[in-house]
A and B are shown apart, each in its own frame.
Chain A
Amino acid sequence: VPDELAAVYQQHVASVWRYARARLPDHADAEDVTSEVFARAARAWDRYDPARGSVGAWLAGIAHHVVADWWRRRPPEEPLAGAAETAPAAAGDPADALVRVDDAAQVRRHLSTLTDREREAVALRFGAGLSSAEVGEVLGISDAGARMLVYRAVAKLRQVMADE
Chain B
Amino acid sequence: MSDGFGLEPTPSVDPAEQQAGDRLDASIEARTAVDPVVAALLAEGQADVPASVVARVGAVVAAARPVPRPTSAGARARRHAQIAAAVLGFAFFNHATGQLFLGHWVARQTHGVYDAHSYVEGGVALLALAAVLATAVRRSRWLDVAALAGVPAGLAYAVHGAAEITGLTWGGLLHGSEGLAAAALCLTWWRARRYARAPDSEEEA
Contacts and interface: CB of A to CB of B under 8 A. Distances in A.
Contact of A120 (B1, B5, B29, B40): B5
Interface string A131-146: 1100000011110110
Given A107-B40, A129-B45, A46 B53 contact: no
Interface string B1-37: 1111111101101000110111011001100000111
Looking at chain A's contact residues, is the secondary structure mostly helix, strand, loop, or mixed? helix
B36 A103 contact: yes
Interface in B38-53: 38-50, 52-53
Nearest to A25: B1
Report which residue of A126, A149, A152 has the largest number of chain B beta carbons within 10 angstroms of its beta carbon.
Answer: A126
Contact of B43 (A9, A35, A45, A103): A103
Interface in A68-93: 68, 71-72, 76-80, 87-88, 90
Interface in A106-164: 106-108, 115-117, 119-120, 122, 125-127, 129, 131-132, 139-142, 144-145, 147-152, 154, 157-158, 161
Interface residues of B, number: 52
Given A108-B44, A148-B18, A79 B1 contact: yes
B39 A43 contact: no
Contacts of B50: 27, 31, 88
B65 interface: yes
Given A34-B57, A158-B37, A90 B43 contact: yes
Contacts of B113: none
Contact of A147 (B8, B25, B57, B69): B25
Interface of A: 1-2, 5-6, 9, 13-14, 17-18, 21-22, 27, 30-31, 34-35, 38-40, 42-47, 64, 67-68, 71-72, 76-80, 87-88, 90, 100-101, 103-104, 106-108, 115-117, 119-120, 122, 125-127, 129, 131-132, 139-142, 144-145, 147-152, 154, 157-158, 161
Given A34-B56, A157-B37, 12 more contacts: A5-B61, A17-B49, A35-B57, A40-B200, A46-B67, A76-B1, A77-B1, A88-B50, A107-B37, A144-B21, A148-B17, A158-B37
